[in-house]
Structure 1
Amino acid sequence: MSDVLLVEKEGGIATVTLNRPNAMNALSRELRAALATTFDELEADPETRVVILTGAGDRAFTAGLDLKELGSGGGNFSTQATITDKDPVTSIGKFSGPVIGAINGVAITGGFEIALACDVLIASENARFADTHARVGILPGWGLSQKLSRLIGIYRAKELSLTGNFIGAAQAAEWGLVNRVVPHSELLSTCRQLATDMLSVVPECLPAYKALIDEGFAQSFGEGLKTEARVSGEANTKVSSSAIEERREGIRQRGKSQA
């Protein structure tokens, strides 16, 4: 594995760290390729069921595409940064288990798009978000223009994307962009606990439920309901009454412990 990306595995959880802290974890061509390849490999690893994605250091999750590298190359932006590269957002999206984004600092433009590829976002108090595509003079190609408006509403999405302004962690939480904000020192431990909670559900339900949510989200509400009826109808016939009864006590005890 390239040293621009670190991977640690333990107990079904892989922690993937973008490791260019001196460059604010900017997405160089090497890092983009490593990120895409790593998620392809994690999907092929049956032992890895949840991924935590974060950045090295305190300043940046990732500052997006490495503009210094792009500015020094020949040709146009598309040939340098999109067509010839493996797409890390697509590879992240193909991972069948949950991906938890541990947003430790700024997530800017392409870095914002990497964050939006995750399933759950937990933000450090240091986190900030900005879509500066329009300030660079390019348009997004990893889904931001469509995902952001669906997540926070079209008016807020237009405000962010058409100004290039930053929002902090608290405002991101208020707008529903992140699940919650935690002290920086507690970011990874919070994400690991969340990953552990996810691993404690019925194993086959973890990827199946994620896939059901994602499939329905990409459809109209009516089509999504039809999808749920079809998928649940097929899956639930395989669950026995005895299995439900065995799991009921575990749910009851969990409810008591979390009261």
Structure 2
Amino acid sequence: MPDLVIERSDAIATITLNRPDAMNALSKALRRDLADAINGINADDAIRVVILTGAGHRAFTAGLDLKELGHDQDALGAANAETADRNPVKAIEMCTKPVIGAINGVAITGGFELALACDVLIASVDARFADTHGRVGIMPGWGLSQKLSRLVGLYRAKELSLTGNFIDAQTAQAWGLVNRVVARDELMPQARQLAAEMAQLEPVMLVGLKRLIDDGFGLPLDAALALEQERSIQHNRAVTPAAVEARRAAVQARGRTQ
């Protein structure tokens, strides 16, 4: 069986990390395959949304393959790698299309960082999160030390990183780390439903909105508002009144069915 499985259906690509016996650990080969998959998806105009998940129920991914690290002198450099074929967070970040993380089990250390690279997180009741960098003796290099505090707050981030303790899916939701928690059997159906709703947007809007939110998030508010204004003017000058009216009618019709 391949280490990575890609399924395409109805404008949605589902990427499954497929090393369940190794807790879907991110080996060299799997990291290369993930980067190749994202490159292919970016070039595929038929795909609008991506779902990333892991095989089985034990793990989303346990992060870097520690067995590889223990036998390959150069493997540790992956923790600071800047290229997408070695750094899976970079691979996900270079995806121009929305990525839904369907967190099916534990997301540990590098796996936690990979989850944080997604745009939306849906967790099954089996999901748990832990930052064990300190216990392994490796400094985070894929963004966790900075992203986590911005998502859950400084004190909670320090508690997680300085203990290496796990939090369960319900706690992750309460802390704002995941969007929702669902039953095991509902994880992929709910992820696909959300992806299908996103895929109803035109590609230019999906890509443009994702990029605008991401680019503005790390800026001070004044600079972020200026960025929004700049891109809004650039985009909206090409929108015709007839197009707005047609889309408004479609929005109203959708609202009546929900």
Aligned to 1:103: 103
- Aligned equivalents of 1:243 and 1:75: distance in 2? 55
Q: How does 1:144-159 map to 2 (within 5 A)?
A: 144-159=144-159
Counterpart contact for 2:82–2:90, Cα < 8 Å: no
Correspondence 1:21 to 2:34? no
In structure 2, do the counterparts of structure 1 residues 254 and 21 end up closer, same or farther at CA, with 3 Å as the change threshold? same
In structure 2, do the counterparts of structure 1 residues 74 and 176 end up closer, same or farther at CA, with 3 Å as the change threshold? same
Aligned length: 257
Tell me the alpha carbon deviations over residues 24-80 of structure 1, each in whole angstroms, 9 at most, x when there is no partner.
101111111111221122112222211100000011000111111211223572278
Aligned to 1:165: 165
- Long gaps (5+) in structure 1: none
- Aligned equivalents of 2:252 and 2:79: distance in 1? 55
Counterpart contact for 1:70–1:81, Cα < 8 Å: no
- Secondary structure of the corresponding residue to residue 204 of structure 1: helix
Q: How does 1:96-135 map to 2 (within 5 A)?
A: 96-135=96-135
In structure 2, do the counterparts of structure 1 residues 120 and 75 end up closer, same or farther at CA, with 3 Å as the change threshold? closer
- Aligned equivalents of 1:81 and 1:72: distance in 2? 18
Matched AA of 1:159: E
In structure 2, do the counterparts of structure 1 residues 253 and 145 end up closer, same or farther at CA, with 3 Å as the change threshold? same
Deviation at 1:224, TM superposition (A): 0.3
- Aligned equivalents of 1:80 and 1:19: distance in 2? 21
Q: How does 1:53-72 map to 2 (within 5 A)?
A: 53-72=52-71
Aligned to 2:40: 41
- Aligned equivalents of 1:186 and 1:225: distance in 2? 38
Aligned to 1:51: 50
Correspondence 1:250 to 2:220? no
Of the structure 1 ranges 101-110 and 85-94, higher mean CA displacement relative to structure 2 is found in 85-94
Counterpart contact for 1:70–1:80, Cα < 8 Å: no
Q: Runs of 4+ in structure 1 displaced over 6 angstroms?
A: none
Tell me the alpha carbon deviations over residues 101-122 of structure 1, each in whole angstroms, 9 at most, x when there is no partner.
0000000000001101100000
Counterpart contact for 1:29–1:81, Cα < 8 Å: no
- Long gaps (5+) in structure 2: none
Deviation at 1:81, TM superposition (A): 7.4
Counterpart contact for 2:58–2:126, Cα < 8 Å: yes
Matched AA of 1:23: A
- Aligned equivalents of 1:203 and 1:81: distance in 2? 32
- Aligned equivalents of 1:34 and 1:75: distance in 2? 19
Tell me the alpha carbon deviations over residues 92-142 of structure 1, each in whole angstroms, 9 at most, x when there is no partner.
111111000000000000000110110000000100000000000011111
- Aligned equivalents of 1:211 and 1:239: distance in 2? 19
- Aligned equivalents of 2:78 and 2:165: distance in 1? 27
Q: How does 1:176-195 map to 2 (within 5 A)?
A: 176-195=176-195
Q: Identity, % of aligned pairs?
A: 58
- Secondary structure of the corresponding residue to residue 203 of structure 2: coil
In structure 2, do the counterparts of structure 1 residues 76 and 29 end up closer, same or farther at CA, with 3 Å as the change threshold? closer
- Secondary structure of the corresponding residue to residue 248 of structure 1: helix
